[in-house]
Structures are given as C-alpha cells and as structure tokens.
Chain A
C-alpha cells in the first residue's frame, strides 16, 4: 500500500485558493492511513473555514473513489460531479492525482497529500514500514524474505559490510537493524545458509528506470489475429 501524509492546510489552500467550487476525492484503495469520505469531509470543512478567513466562500463536495489509480473506476466515479466543480483535490497518492488529471482532463486535479513510500502495515504498532522499493529485480528468494535493497542503508547485494555492530547498522547511529544480519538469521533458521554464501552479481537497475511501463494481457491487433487464424 502507498503510505501518504496530508499536506499542511496552508499549502493546500495556496494551491486551490482561486477556485470557488471544488470536489474533494478520497480514495478507498491502498492509500494508508485510510483516506475515505470522512477524511475528505474534514478537509472540506477545514478549507471552508480557511477560505472564510480570506473573505471568500468555498463550495465543496466530498466523495470517495474505490481506487483512484484505476482509470475506469476513477472516471466513472468522478464523471457525475465534473460539471459542477472547477477543480479536484485528491486525497489519494500521487498515482490518484495523475490518474484524475488524465480521466478528468478538462479540469486540474491537485494533490492534498504527499506520497511517502510503498509500505506495509503493522497493525499492532499502528506503523507503516517500507519493506520494498519496487526495484524491478526481486532477490527476496535468495534472502529469506528480507529485502536488502529496502532494508540496507547502502543497498548492498552482498553483505553485511563492516558497518554493523551487534546486528545494528552504523547508518543512523546504530538504531536500525542490519538487513544482512536479519537475512543471515532467517536463512539459518530455515537451514538455507547455502544461499547466504552465494555470490550475487551486481544488480541490474534497468527494469526500474523511470518512467516504468509494463503491458500485460495486451490485446491482439487485427494483423496478429489474422496471423493466428492462418496458423
């Protein structure tokens, strides 16, 4: 899930201060902490108060979208409201903001949030941790399920380095665990230390080149269909 943090209310105000009618769109997708309709309502209320301090009236409406990053869902949810609003404020991650700008291309969509990272949720601690950096070349199969790219400060493919003391990493002042020690522990527990001693060649970062673009289930073109039929 994408971990987000709401922007400062003044920053949001500065972005949208010239509009009079705004649509505030929450997202029920993976955005965490959850930014659904009630969060959108609270943001609307705050903005209305803010506008009033500048002697302006703001008309707003809060809605929520099942997943803003899906063009079909986003488009169908937003469509009925487009004519009545001058702009959209999105409470999704950056993907949602981009997607709303695409599907509602007559008006601008502004971000109300900063997207932080792709993270996992620890319910017990109410915390979110970045376990994956979406590097495009997964090596978790060799590291017992602990990612050295997201977990190691130096993104080392072969570790640990000399900067670990008592299982803690020198970066950040020996507070965070060394990912490679964790990897060692995991592999040892499953009796797969053979993988620990494997030499891992330098990583190929090309799959993670921005902008990343993947096509899945690409429909057949007419020419391809004819070729297939003729086989």
Chain B
C-alpha cells in the first residue's frame, strides 16, 4: 500500500515551495534540511531581481508557513543516509544530527550565544564575513528559531571545559547527552532540492581572492548589502571598513571555463546587475562597473531591468573579462586590467572593491547524495534528467529534482520547478484522509462589539531596520498611554517564532481581544500574525498591521525624531482602527471537480495530463484543429535533437490515454462567469455553443514566432526561400531543402530587444540563441561545405548549452554587432554588410540565405484576459501574481497560467510550469472546498433603495439588484466579491458595508491621522493608498530607501474606488492640510476599473473644493505602480512641497482664494 508521505530534501525556496504545494494538496511532507534552519540561499540574498523585492521579506512568511503547516514535518539538522525500495514504497533512513539543545524547550532567545566564549567562528550564513558562536542560531529570521551546538567548536565537547551556555539558558534546554539518531521513514516519493554551492574563486589565482581582502565573492557582497548582514547594510569594504565608492563586478569567474565549470551559471549576470542597482540606491555617489562576456538574461522583464540599470542607475558595462587584479599596497585598492572595446585599448582602472561572480557548482556532497539516492549526475555534476525536455524526473522512478541542483536556476524557475516536481511526486502517494488532516484550532473566543477592547501592541525593532531610525522604547511607552491598550512591548524581530509565542501567551494571559503589530508591511507579514492570533483563539480579523518600516523608518532615515513622531501617529491610527474591527468568518464554497485548460500546446497537454492523473475531469479547449501547438512546426528539439514529431506523438498517446480528458478543437472560450470552485464557461466552435462548469482554469495560450515584416526584405516576393525565420529554416531542414556549399547568414535579435517604440518588442526572447546554435550546428553537419556566419548582439545560452556554443564557434563564424547589419538584394543575390566589433572593419558577405532570429510574440491574450479578468503586461503576456514566488498563479484565485503565454521559454520550462500550474490547480480540486477572505461587501437590505449604483461600479458582477427576488434589493455574492469596496463608496444610501474596510473602521483612522500634537509636523497630509499599486509602490519605495518628507499619514484601502467623497472631506474637516490619493495606473487597476470611479469622484469634488475655501492644489490624485518606488517618493516630496508653499490650511480658507474673491 502506497504511503501518504513525500520526502523533500532541501529547505531552500524550491524545497519549501514543493513542500507547501504537496501539503496543501493533502499529502504529508517530510522536509529534510541539513542546516538548522529553512531558507537556503534565498535567505542569504539581500534583494531579488528584477523587482528588487527584499529577499528575506518575501521568503520569511513561506518559511514560517512551512514550519507551522500541519501536514509538514520539518526534519532540520538532518541528512538522508540511505534509500531502499521502489517508487511508492521507499524506505529512507534519515540521520538526525545531535544538536545538544532540546528544541522542545529552547525559546530561541539567543542568551546562550551571547555568553559563548567561542565568538570568532566564521559564520556560514554570513559567508565568512561575520562570526558566529559555537552555540548559535544561524540568522535572525531563522525558522525554526532554535539554537544548535557546533560539536567541533564547542569548548565543552572538545576540551571538556566551559558549559557557560548551560548556566545561561533559563529554559534549561542544553542537553549534553544528545546523540545522533537514525530514523526510518516510509515515503512514496522523493523530491531533491538541495540547491547549489559556489566555486572557490581562489582557484583562479589572477584575481587573488582570499589574498586581497577587498576581493569578495557575490554571496559575500549580498551579505554586505543586507541590512541584517555583518555591516548592517553599510557598504564597508573588508580591509579598512571604509565606504566603498568604486566597485567592480567581474562575471564568469569559473563559469564558461573549460577547466573549471564548463557551463554558464545562468543567473550571475542578473544578480550582478541587481547588486549594482542596489549599490547605487544605497549610495548614489558610488560607481558601479560590470565586466562581462555576454549579458545573459534568463527570464521575463529582465532585459528591461538591464536597460534601466544602464540608463536610470548609470551602471557601466564593459565587455571583456579582466585579465588581472593587482592590489595597491598603499590603500589596498585594486587595479583591474581590462579591455575597453570602445577605444580598443587595454586599460587599468582602480577600484575600492571587486566582486567576483563565482560559478554556481553542484553541492559538494552531490555525488554522495546521488549514490545514496541511486540517481545519476550529468557531465558537470548536477543531477541528471531523462532528456532536455524534462527538468524534473531524475533517472530513478519516484525521485524528482527541483531547483538549482538540476541546473542553475533563478528563484522564479526554481519555484515553478518545485510546483512541477510536487505534481509528479504526488502521483506515487495517496492523499491523507480527512480524519488525518483535521486541524484542531482552539475554539474562537466569543467577542461582541459591546465588549471593551483589550488591545495588545507589539512593536518590531526589525534588528536595526526600525530601531536604528526611531526610538522604539518611546513608541512602546507612548502606545501604553493610548485608550484600551492593555499591553505593549518591543520585539527584536516580530516575525520570529519567539514573538509569535509571546503574542499567543499574552492573548491568553491578559485576555487580549485585539492585536496591533507595528512592523514591516502587511503585504508580506499580515497573514503570519493573523494565523498566530487564530492559534490563540482570536479571530484573524481582530488584528491590525501598522507599517513603520516601509512607510516610516526606511523612508525617513535621516530624521529620527520625526520618524518616531510619525510612528506614534501610525500606531495611534492602527489602535483607533482595531477597536472597531469585528470577527469575520471565512467564506466557503464547494469546488466543481473539473478543470478547464485553455490551449492545446505542449503546456496545456502536460497540465491536463497531470490533473487527469489525479482522477479529475479535464476540458481542453484548443483554437486550432490540432493539438501540439508550436511543436508541430519544430523539427528537432534542443541539443539532444529529439525529433519533435516523435516527441509529440508520445505525448499525444499519453494524453489520449486519459479518458477523463475531453478535447474541444477549433473551439474558443467565449464567456467566463463565476469564481474559483464554480466557473461557468461557454465554449464555442463553428457548429455550437457548449456550457461547461469547472472549478479551476489553466491558461496556456502560448506564443508564436514573430514574422519580421519590414526587416531585411522578409516576405518580399521571390525571396521566400532566401530570407526566412528560424522556424522556416527548421521546416526546410526537415524537408532537406538546403543545398550543400551555400553561404548562410544568421542574424539575431531581429525585432527583439528593440528600444521602446522601435520596430519590434523590447524584451529578449530567451530561446532564439540556442535555436540558432542548434540550427547552425545541424546545417554544418548535414551540409559540411556550407559557410555560416552568425551575426549576434549577445549569445544567451544557459547551463551546459554553453558547450554546444563552443562547438559551434569552431566551424562557424560568429560576429558581434552593435549596429544592425544591412542586407541588400542585387540580381537575386543577397549581400550582408556588418560592422564587426572585434576587428573594427566592415564586412560584406554574399549570402545564399539569410536566417532571422525573431522573438516569440504572445498569442492574442486581450479578449481572454478580459473574460477571465486577469492582467496582462504591456507586451501582451499574461501577468503572474508575483514575479518570483507565484510564477504560475494569477492574482485571481482559481486561474493559473503556464508556458509561453507567461513569457518566452523553452520546452522543458514550459512543461515544468504546466505541471506546477496543475499542482496549484489541484489544491482546490483535491480539497473540494475553497475559501474566500471575508473582505467582501455586505448589503443591508433595509437601507437599500435599489438604485443600482453598486451594480454600475462593480466590475465583477458580484453585486446588484436581484430581479428574481420578490423584493428588489441589492445582493452581494461573497465568493465573487473581490473586496475592492467600490460599491460601498458609490452607495448613496449607506446600505453597503465593506467588511474589514468599513466606514466605522476607516473614519477613526482619518481622524487620528491629523490629530498628533507635534507642532512642527505641518503640513499634515492624509494619504489614501490602494493596496495593490500605490501602497505597494510605497513599500517598494521603502525597500529601496527612497527618502521623502515625514508629513504623510497613509491609510491603506484595497482600491481607490473604495474612497468616497466623504472620506476626503472628513480629512479636511479634521484639519488635514492636504489629501493625497494614490492608485493604480489607469488600465492597471487590480479591480479592472475601480480607479475610474475614483477619477470621477476626484473631478466632481475638485470642482467644488475651491468654493468651500480649499485650494484644489491641496488635493491630489496620482497613479503610482508597485514598482514605482522612486516615483512615489518624488510625487510625495513634490506634493508636500506644494502644500508647504500654500501654508497650513486655516479655517478661513486659503489665501489664494481670498485674493480671488476680493478681486
């Protein structure tokens, strides 16, 4: 009998993601991590590219979630020793290493570490840049936050002396008798997500790593940048702890090197750019120079990020890897010898600090682990998969690989792979029964609105992130003076397990019925605290999150006094709000156990197969008359030259063998109604319309090769077999249409990587370089006398594809260009002129054929996007919920995306994403139930006047007069309601309550926002910010440390549509000098058009404000997106200046207006 257990080896982001997906689907997960905390590499990073999210901030909630998920058993500080048995019935022996600390009683307070005399042990987490003790917790946000004793360094365990920690530990957690322990588990399948190591750069002597103190590796640099790192986020170089002002980054240190790492490490170019941008944000007077071979981007929006780095942040890029680094003995600066291709000279430049992008390597123990697991490794030491179309299945059935242990991969891909691996691993296991998964939460404390509020306030120091810029103890004292506050305390890290335990304890001890946490941002951490208070028997909605980091300490770093004053206001606003919050219960709905997959390419088929394997009915809708999509056009796949036809046939056979899949060819989805769990779909083909009812939707509409009209005579008469795209070449190759001895010129980036508004698209299509190399090699092999010239901008291939690139370069002429080549047609012959950068000469090549690499263009997404109400980016690709951590989810629940409709990608990645999307779609299908947040509108039928205003503003058909009823009043569908609150603002009768964002909760905030009695805090500005764009933009602004004046007091609403005129007028009446409203850009509204309703109200009110003595300049509506942190600070600064100029608002009205009246 198969087990419900799935083992995940590795607690980095990939392992965490796989574990959470499996656990949510209802399997038991054994998560094995060799260190004492989850987090892996991502926990060490400062930021993530290309959005510059704070890495630990978005990871920490996931770490905490996996440590507290009822279906996940965390085996930290453990290693897999032996695996026997077969898929479905593995027996795994796990070594639980002796920790010498009893984790059941350890509180993670850290007192033991402070007293430990062994203070100079280089910390692994800090990459040797900082120290740890012999008894230690690896990093502040560690999960679980428990200490372990380093058996090799501990004085007592090595020399039988000391035992100071035992004396210090008040919990009595030290256990000297702890022994290694081996436990055997039955598991059905195994996911290996052990991640990567990095090459020791000292192997390359010319860079003198380890010898010159100011040469550091990239991970060390991440730690230097990190606010929680060894220098507290100050960019101090190791030799003299002085600010580094000129920094060089060197790419490909060991990567793309035949002797060391014969592959491309893929993500270094991106993280270098990220580190450069973050450096410039830290200290704008720093110069950043990046030395590179080819700039390689590996995902969506990354090309644009590099362009921004060059233009906006002024990063300098030099092509060519430096040959040598020498130290200046006087000041330990570094002389870097490098080529300058602009001048053609070799130059020597001086830098304060050099950062090496050292190669990503397999884990040091990868081979041993491979032996234990009986799986193979590939030529370069990463875990091997079946072939190049498969990223997830190892060479042994039932064992799957995910993340960078298979091939170097960035976070987004690792997350997608993790989801895919989870889908595959689940096929061997049986889900836990309802009995086994029941969560026993304590009963909810009954709270009546009449009960006196008893508020507990927890204020986070966030290490120094908050405490370094404001007086946290003063905030604690202040909050104690506020009404209904029963308890107030500060925490070093409120997100730590320790604080969670304290919160629970205090709720119990002091009978608290409302909790306020003042810390980072609700966008990442609200759920964590909500879960905590629920575990203490308090309803999740009796909680308010006050952001004093992103909205305060990080944006007012130079004015501690005012930052503290602002924090007092923010906390007071939170306390005013929380009193009026009410317990809310989640809304539940049943899930129709069927799925809809839109798109019948390889991605759609793969997703359908995974869902069907689990026994659910799948409807697959394909626009064309055949399945397989782009695969039908390709000849050979990837460098292992899998025949596309055969591959597709195999997939089709598997697909067709699933009787629970119904395929609708020549069909289109024409209507989508409903919400997660219960979508009503209309599918139309030529003959008929069909109604479907499904629980989830997977979008896999794909992309196609761009036909480059207007480029190089493409499509002109008589030139069809002379100027062609790569796919057309592929067709010619299949049909053997080429002749030997021809001259072929390949031109790359035709229509891709174009400037904004140029002839083509701005993005890099990612897969064309390897397609071109593949074709070039194939042509040369089949037609050995051909001459091939490849004209390129950068060659972007990842991983071991690099070796094929080298092979190609042996017999094929690669010429790099800056200016696009010219193609002239003369007497039916083609002649290509290109200016070669290396030799600086113009070359003219007489060509028989010109082959153009053109970008992948998303298939039409607009109409489907409108139907499923999901966002698309400017390029027409669908927009995932989060670039890094939710690559296959839409922001709308129950709808998932995969493949090239998300962004350009290859077959293996598309299949991985398809499986991940399926895995996520299976969560509601398998649990049979969905929950909606109770942030929904509620209609009071007694007040409703059936005017239908709510129906007019609702973009989700969630509210409106129900004409089937006898009494005509509005009704709201809580499963459809997205919680924007537009209807509550539009309702003239006050009949609609937006739960959790109700008037009674927001009015007190508006009032308190202007009530602080700090004299110099004028002008005082109330800011209403929409959760998704402007509040997120304010967060981005905070994370990026863009400074702005302290004068604004933000109030978060879900959508600007939630803001009625009465809120704005109330703010002015309470004494605000200005009112600022920030929403999503028109067209970007998370609720489709909520911002239009705000715009309308804005204009109506603006017209009348002047007449009641308010200069309309005091009232501002701005569209600021989540990524526009910089703009947020600029706009706020400018608005504050403007309002300052107008002076404090007096009741008499603005002077400007008085002058007007006098005239």
**CB of A20 closer than 8 Å to a CB of B:** no
Residue contact B1108 to A49, C-beta cutoff 8 Å:
yes
Shortest Cβ distance from residue A226 to the other chain B in the assembled complex, whole angstroms: 43
Q: How far is the CA of A28 from the CA of B940 in the complex (A)?
A: 15
Q: How far is the CA of A42 from the CA of B1060 in the complex (A)?
A: 9
List 11 additional contacts besides A48-B1069, A53-B1108; criterion CB under 8 Å.
A28-B945, A34-B949, A36-B989, A36-B990, A38-B990, A39-B988, A42-B1060, A42-B1065, A45-B1061, A53-B1109, A55-B1147
**CB of B948 closer than 8 Å to a CB of A:** yes
Q: Which of B1027-1076 contact A (CB under 8 A)?
A: 1060-1062, 1065-1066, 1068-1069
A45 nearest CB neighbor, chain B only: B1065
Interface residues on B, range: 20 to 34
**CB of B1110 closer than 8 Å to a CB of A:** yes
A9 nearest CB neighbor, chain B only: B1107
Minimum-distance CB pairs A-B, first 7:
A53-B1109, A45-B1065, A53-B1149, A52-B1147, A36-B989, A49-B1108, A36-B988
**CB of A10 closer than 8 Å to a CB of B:** yes
**CB of A126 closer than 8 Å to a CB of B:** yes
Contact for A34 among B989, B1062, B1109, CB less than 8 A: B989
Q: How far is the CA of A126 from the CA of B947 in the complex (A)?
A: 12
**CB of B952 closer than 8 Å to a CB of A:** yes
Q: How far is the CA of A126 from the CA of B1093 in the complex (A)?
A: 14
Residues on A with C-beta less than 8 A from B120 are none
Residue contact A45 to B1069, C-beta cutoff 8 Å:
yes
Residues on A with C-beta less than 8 A from B608 are none
Shortest Cβ distance from residue B1115 to the other chain A in the assembled complex, whole angstroms: 12
SS class, residues of chain A in contact with chain B: helix
Residue contact A41 to B1147, C-beta cutoff 8 Å:
no
Q: How far is the CA of A123 from the CA of B1068 in the complex (A)?
A: 34
**CB of A168 closer than 8 Å to a CB of B:** no
Residues on A with C-beta less than 8 A from B1061 are 42, 45
Residue contact B1069 to A49, C-beta cutoff 8 Å:
yes
**CB of B1104 closer than 8 Å to a CB of A:** yes
Q: How far is the CA of A65 from the CA of B1069 in the complex (A)?
A: 26
Q: How far is the CA of A53 from the CA of B1149 in the complex (A)?
A: 5
Shortest Cβ distance from residue B945 to the other chain A in the assembled complex, whole angstroms: 5
Contact for B1109 among A28, A49, A64, A126, CB less than 8 A: A49
Residues on A with C-beta less than 8 A from B1108 are 9, 46-47, 49-50, 53
Q: How far is the CA of A53 from the CA of B949 in the complex (A)?
A: 33
**CB of B159 closer than 8 Å to a CB of A:** no
Residues on A with C-beta less than 8 A from B952 are 123, 126
Residue contact B989 to A38, C-beta cutoff 8 Å:
yes
A57 nearest CB neighbor, chain B only: B1147
Shortest Cβ distance from residue A163 to the other chain B in the assembled complex, whole angstroms: 37
Residues on A with C-beta less than 8 A from B1148 are 52-53, 55
Q: Which of A145-194 contact B (CB under 8 A)?
A: none
**CB of A104 closer than 8 Å to a CB of B:** no
Task: Tally chain A residues at the interface, Cβ within 8 Å.
Answer: 26
**CB of B225 closer than 8 Å to a CB of A:** no
Contact for B1107 among A33, A41, A50, A123, CB less than 8 A: A50
Shortest Cβ distance from residue A33 to the other chain B in the assembled complex, whole angstroms: 8
Residue contact B1104 to A38, C-beta cutoff 8 Å:
no
Residues on A with C-beta less than 8 A from B988 are 26, 33-39
Q: How far is the CA of A55 from the CA of B1109 in the complex (A)?
A: 11
Q: How far is the CA of A34 from the CA of B1108 in the complex (A)?
A: 23
Residues on B with C-beta less than 8 A from A48 are 1069
Q: How far is the CA of A48 from the CA of B947 in the complex (A)?
A: 28
Q: How many A-B residue pairs have CB under 8 A?
A: 70
Could you name 11 residue pairs across A and B whose Cβ atoms are closer than 8 Å?
A8-B1107, A10-B1107, A34-B988, A34-B989, A38-B989, A38-B1062, A45-B1061, A45-B1065, A45-B1066, A46-B1108, A53-B1109
Residue contact B989 to A37, C-beta cutoff 8 Å:
yes
Residues on B with C-beta less than 8 A from A126 are 952
Q: How far is the CA of A126 from the CA of B1096 in the complex (A)?
A: 14
Q: How far is the CA of A41 from the CA of B1069 in the complex (A)?
A: 12
Q: How far is the CA of A1 from the CA of B1149 in the complex (A)?
A: 38
Q: How far is the CA of A41 from the CA of B1065 in the complex (A)?
A: 10
Proximity bits, A124-137, B CB within 8 Å = 1, else 0: 00100000000000
Proximity bits, B907-923, A CB within 8 Å = 1, else 0: 00000000000000000
Q: How far is the CA of A184 from the CA of B71 in the complex (A)?
A: 75
Shortest Cβ distance from residue A47 to the other chain B in the assembled complex, whole angstroms: 8
Q: Which of B931-953 contact A (CB under 8 A)?
A: 945, 947-949, 952
Q: How far is the CA of A39 from the CA of B645 in the complex (A)?
A: 67
Q: How far is the CA of A184 from the CA of B157 in the complex (A)?
A: 106
Assuming the A-B contacts A28-B945, A39-B988, A123-B948, are A50 and B1109 also in contact, with contact meaning beta carbons closer than 8 angstroms in the complex? yes
Q: How far is the CA of A28 from the CA of B989 in the complex (A)?
A: 8
Proximity bits, B1121-1159, A CB within 8 Å = 1, else 0: 000000000000000000000000001110000000000
Q: Which of A102-119 contact B (CB under 8 A)?
A: none
Residues on B with C-beta less than 8 A from A45 are 1061-1062, 1065-1066, 1068-1069
A55 nearest CB neighbor, chain B only: B1148
Residues on B with C-beta less than 8 A from A123 are 948, 952
Q: How far is the CA of A45 from the CA of B1064 in the complex (A)?
A: 10
Proximity bits, A44-78, B CB within 8 Å = 1, else 0: 01111110110100000000100000000000000
Q: How far is the CA of A25 from the CA of B1148 in the complex (A)?
A: 27
Q: How far is the CA of A38 from the CA of B1065 in the complex (A)?
A: 12
Q: How far is the CA of A53 from the CA of B1107 in the complex (A)?
A: 10
Residues on B with C-beta less than 8 A from A35 are 988
Shortest Cβ distance from residue A103 to the other chain B in the assembled complex, whole angstroms: 21
Shortest Cβ distance from residue B1089 to the other chain A in the assembled complex, whole angstroms: 14
Q: Which of A1-46 contact B (CB under 8 A)?
A: 8-10, 26, 28, 33-39, 41-42, 45-46
Assuming the A-B contacts A53-B1147, A55-B1148, A126-B952, are A38 and B1107 also in contact, with contact meaning beta carbons closer than 8 angstroms in the complex? no
Q: How far is the CA of A34 from the CA of B989 in the complex (A)?
A: 8
**CB of B987 closer than 8 Å to a CB of A:** yes
Proximity bits, B978-1012, A CB within 8 Å = 1, else 0: 00000000011110000000000000000000000
Q: How far is the CA of A42 from the CA of B986 in the complex (A)?
A: 12
Q: How far is the CA of A46 from the CA of B952 in the complex (A)?
A: 26
Shortest Cβ distance from residue A36 to the other chain B in the assembled complex, whole angstroms: 4
B985 nearest CB neighbor, chain A only: A38
B1107 nearest CB neighbor, chain A only: A9
Residues on A with C-beta less than 8 A from B948 are 123
Shortest Cβ distance from residue B662 to the other chain A in the assembled complex, whole angstroms: 38
Residues on B with C-beta less than 8 A from A50 are 1107-1109
Q: How far is the CA of A86 from the CA of B782 in the complex (A)?
A: 99
Most chain A beta-carbon contacts within 10 A, residue among B949, B1065, B1107, B1108? B1108
Shortest Cβ distance from residue B1007 to the other chain A in the assembled complex, whole angstroms: 13
Q: How far is the CA of A37 from the CA of B1062 in the complex (A)?
A: 11
Q: How far is the CA of A198 from the CA of B410 in the complex (A)?
A: 83
Q: How far is the CA of A39 from the CA of B1101 in the complex (A)?
A: 12
Shortest Cβ distance from residue B688 to the other chain A in the assembled complex, whole angstroms: 30
Residues on B with C-beta less than 8 A from A37 are 988-990
Shortest Cβ distance from residue A200 to the other chain B in the assembled complex, whole angstroms: 37
Residue contact A34 to B1066, C-beta cutoff 8 Å:
no
Most chain A beta-carbon contacts within 10 A, residue among B949, B952, B987, B1065? B1065
Q: How far is the CA of A172 from the CA of B366 in the complex (A)?
A: 86
Q: How far is the CA of A47 from the CA of B1069 in the complex (A)?
A: 11
Contact for A49 among B945, B987, B1060, B1065, CB less than 8 A: B1065
Residue contact A49 to B989, C-beta cutoff 8 Å:
no
Proximity bits, B1064-1095, A CB within 8 Å = 1, else 0: 01101100000000000000000000000000
Proximity bits, B943-965, A CB within 8 Å = 1, else 0: 00101110010000000000000
Shortest Cβ distance from residue B968 to the other chain A in the assembled complex, whole angstroms: 13
Shortest Cβ distance from residue B831 to the other chain A in the assembled complex, whole angstroms: 61
Residues on B with C-beta less than 8 A from A36 are 945, 947, 988-990
A32 nearest CB neighbor, chain B only: B947
Q: How far is the CA of A33 from the CA of B1100 in the complex (A)?
A: 14
Q: How far is the CA of A69 from the CA of B1107 in the complex (A)?
A: 31
Residues on A with C-beta less than 8 A from B945 are 28, 34, 36
